[in-house]
Structure 1
Amino acid sequence: MARQLCSFLILSLAATSAADEEVLSRVKRIIGGSIATRGQWPWLVSLHGKFVTERIPILGIPIAFRHKFCGGSILNDRWILTAAHCFDGPQGRIANRWEARLAATSLRNNIFETLRNILSRIVDREDWRTWEIDIDRVVIHPRYNASDYWANDIALVRLEDPVPSGRQFSRILRINLPTYANFSFPSVGTRCTMKGWGCTTGGGLVSNHAHSVELPVFDTASCSILRRTSHNFNRICAGFINSNVGICPGDSGGPLSCLNERDEWIQVGVASFASVHSPGDYPGVFTRVSSYVRWINSVIN
């Protein structure tokens, strides 16, 4: 067991790929989860970054790209909550390299979704529409530190155009935030739900659709031993030991949400990192949203 604990190395969850690896990277999903249906999680967002890696000399025409995919959640008509480490790397924080995809569980439209999207404008059926909106601002938490096990791994992105969040019958709804510094919710053992596009198993089948999985909140002290990190009050662990269920690359920034006593979904965590070699066999680590509510409100207001 001690050897297993010592081997709990940390891996950033952002799904980055070269152009020839794009398809494999972007369709990985949650380990042990079930397919999310359209409208089931109306605050779930897919963030797509596209970065030029090679251009034709002299002409400057792009010919190769690097892609990065992360999850996020809708806070209001203009703002998305996600993980700071999604924007690491060259060009990562350049806002116009990113776009958000809303009201959809797939990462890319297939032919049917493309036709439905066109028809939605013709017949005025907003519930048929998917939204792909450019990002115009990326705000990283000022104390984010990638070299310290992704301390303060939280970020906000602003949409270039507002979305109709909160409208009746809309498939775009905002998620509720917890009370500031509320460390009692969720309690240990509470079953919360994680949504995202992360992997299933090493070498397993892939899917273009978002998945969701129930994860129990893990004891903070025990998880601290597993991950060998500090900042305990600013993080939540959720998942299992040796159950092949959990989060992994592609789930970065995705929301961990729990039902409160009024049956309201509250986002308590932002997917941050997991085990390198056995992500389904150890609890995933999430940024605790309640620690950052004041910062979130100061930015979006």
Structure 2
Amino acid sequence: MSDEGKVSGAASGDDKSWKLLEKTLLASVHEQRSSRRWGIFFKLLTFVYLFGALALFMPGLDLKKSAAAGSEHTALIEVKGMIMADENASADNVVGSLRAAFEDEKTKGVVLRINSPGGSPVQSGYIYDEIKRLRGEHPDVKVYAVITDLGASGAYYIASAADQIYADKASLVGSIGVTAATFGFVGVMEKVGVDRRVYTSGAHKAFLDPFQPQKAEETQFWQGVLETTHKQFIDSVKKGRGDRLKSAEHPELFSGLIWSGEQALGLGLVDALGSASYVAREVIGAKEIVDYTRQDNPLDRFAKKLGTSVAERMSIWMGFQGPSLR
């Protein structure tokens, strides 16, 4: 082959190499652009998802409330589940809901729709006191407690602050008592040969320790604490219900027993049978119902759970449960 042919062949080979390199670079650029587009798409999708979730769980966002803005309505507040500091039925949430309902000039009456086994006597007491205070400040706005499935113990404590209490004939109502529970592991420790070593700076500092034998004087003391809390509960219920409560003829009302709604009506624990919609329509006279219930969003509740002390969780795991209205 001539030198000219060799040069021509080499040039042709170089052209092919450059074209192949050019195609490879273009393919790489195309792939990067495509990857960037998909990255932007997924970022936008994630943003939309998070924004939607945030909007859904924002405590201040109340679509039901805005729907009835400007018209007279019945304010509805749910008291559902355990009445505890870190639950939806906490005093902070229920009291905040009550204040918002009373502050609205279009609120004609307030319905507390209750479905709860009770809970903390402190949280229940806070809510009870706030209902009494708001009723005094706004005498024209009545509060009606409506018990659905269950209105027991601390939940009934709250209900007794209302102007009237309604229930279904099959609702469970009452349980006016106080309970505290724990376990005793002394026998188990003796069987497995484990010694309990507790160091305290007070003679009775560890009197609720389930790994130590009970002492008669400490048991008597703890019973006194429960009796005091029970008396506070009874006094509040009597103050709220007044002469409607047939406690003179039925002292068992304060024994911790629970009754059906139909039985509770005869005992003066409730005033009538009816649902929340019935009360709104027939008693308050404002069939438009606006939900003022304030709840912790799931992110807040998760954060609170993480912030709970290890000691508290350990006490629950070991079986101790403080005074509870349930």
TM-score tier after normalising by the smaller chain length = under 0.3
Instruction: Say which one has the larger Rg.
Output: 2
- What TM-score do you get using the length of structure 1 for normalisation? 0.24
- What TM-score do you get using the length of structure 2 for normalisation? 0.22
Normalized per residue, which structure has more helix? 2
Normalized per residue, which structure has more strand? 1
